């Protein structure tokens, strides 16, 4: 089942890497693996960060070195030009991934499953599929 591609805005400090601003912290476990998997599914990733200038350039380059090219950076789409008289600073995205979420940042595996719930059956579905097979433990061990 293929999902409709989403625009996913992703924060940098505290989300992709540990919060060490203005330095770049250590990668948060599975951040780049998850982002690459989301890109492979054709989702558009937007880097949405407080960083600007040299610090922003360093973050973008760090992500590029780790295999992530963003669809847009601090914008809703690549060609967008921010003009505070006509534009909102809030970007257009379907999902925002940020360490400042209420409840904090889930781990990257959990976030992937939230975006792709069809890839892992839930417990209820798993139990239903098992209950249809009424073989005794002995028959299962014997291969019958």
Domain count, the chain: 1
pLDDT in the model for residue 85: 72
**Assigned domain for 13 exists:** yes
DSSP class per residue in 11-79: -SBTTTB-S-TTS--PBPTTHHHHHHHHHHTTPEEEE--S--HHHHHHHHHHHHHTT---SEESSSSTT
CATH number at residue 12: 3.40.50.1000
Mean pLDDT of the chain: 85
Average pLDDT of the segment spanning 94-123: 86
Interatomic CA distance for residues 14 and 28, integer angstroms: 8
Gyration radius of the chain's alpha carbons: 20
Average pLDDT of the segment spanning 52-57: 95
Segment 21-52, tens digit of pLDDT: 999 999 999 999 999 999 999 999 999 999 99
Q: What SS3 state is found at 7?
A: strand
**Assigned domain for 2 exists:** no
The predicted model scores a pTM of 0.77
**Assigned domain for 1 exists:** no
| Structural domain range at position 104 | 7-142
Average pLDDT of the segment spanning 52-69: 97
Interatomic CA distance for residues 4 and 22, integer angstroms: 35
pLDDT in the model for residue 24: 98
């Amino acid at each position: 089942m293929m999902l409709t591609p989403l625009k996913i805005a992703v924060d940098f400090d505290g989300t992709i890497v540990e919060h060490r601003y203005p330095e770049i912290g250590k990668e948060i476990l599975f951040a780049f693996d998850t982002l690459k998997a989301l890109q492979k599914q054709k989702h558009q990733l937007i880097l949405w960060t407080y960083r600007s200038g040299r610090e922003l350039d360093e973050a973008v380059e760090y992500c590029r070195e780790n295999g992530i090219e963003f669809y847009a950076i601090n914008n809703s789409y690549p060609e967008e030009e921010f003009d505070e008289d006509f534009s909102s600073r809030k970007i257009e995205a379907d999902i925002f991934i940020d360490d400042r979420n209420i409840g904090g940042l889930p781990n990257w595996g959990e976030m992937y499953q939230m975006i792709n719930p069809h890839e892992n059956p839930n417990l209820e579905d798993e139990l239903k599929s098992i209950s249809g097979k009424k073989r005794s433990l002995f028959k299962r061990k014997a291969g019958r």
